[in-house]
Amino acid sequence: MAKLGFFAGVLALAVILGCESKPTEKVPTTPPLAPAEAHLVLKNLQYVGLRKDLKHIPILAPVNPDIVFGSAWWFHQHAGKMGIALDEKELVDLDMLEFLNMGYISTQPLKDFPAGENKIDNFPAKSATYDISKARKVYNAGLYRLLKGVPPDMWGDLVVMENKPDTSNVKLRQLTFGYKGTPVMIVAALEREDGKWAVTYIQFKKWPEELKKMVQAS
Q: Give per-residue pLDDT as tens, 34-82.
A: 999 999 999 999 999 999 999 999 999 999 999 999 999 999 999 999 9
Give the model confidence (pLDDT) of 83-116 as tens digits: 999 999 999 999 999 999 999 999 998 888 877 6
pLDDT mean across residues, the chain: 89
At 145 the pLDDT is 98
User: Which of 13, 22, 57, 36 has its CA nearest to residue 154?
Assistant: 22
Give yes or no for a contact between 118 and 110, defined as CB atoms under 8 angstroms apart. no
What's this model's pTM, rounded to 2 decimal places? 0.88
Split at pLDDT 50, 70, 90, the class of 23 is low
With a cut of 70, say whether residue 14 has pLDDT above it: no
How far apart CA 161 and CA 69 sit, in angstroms, is 28
User: What strands, in cross-sheet order, belong to the sheet with 169-179?
Assistant: 158-166, 169-179, 182-191, 197-204
At 8 the pLDDT is 39
Which ranges of 123-203 would DSSP assign to H, the alpha helix? 132-147, 152-155
How far apart CA 124 and CA 92 sit, in angstroms, is 21
With a cut of 50, say whether residue 4 has pLDDT above it: no
- For residues 120-130, give the mean pLDDT: 88
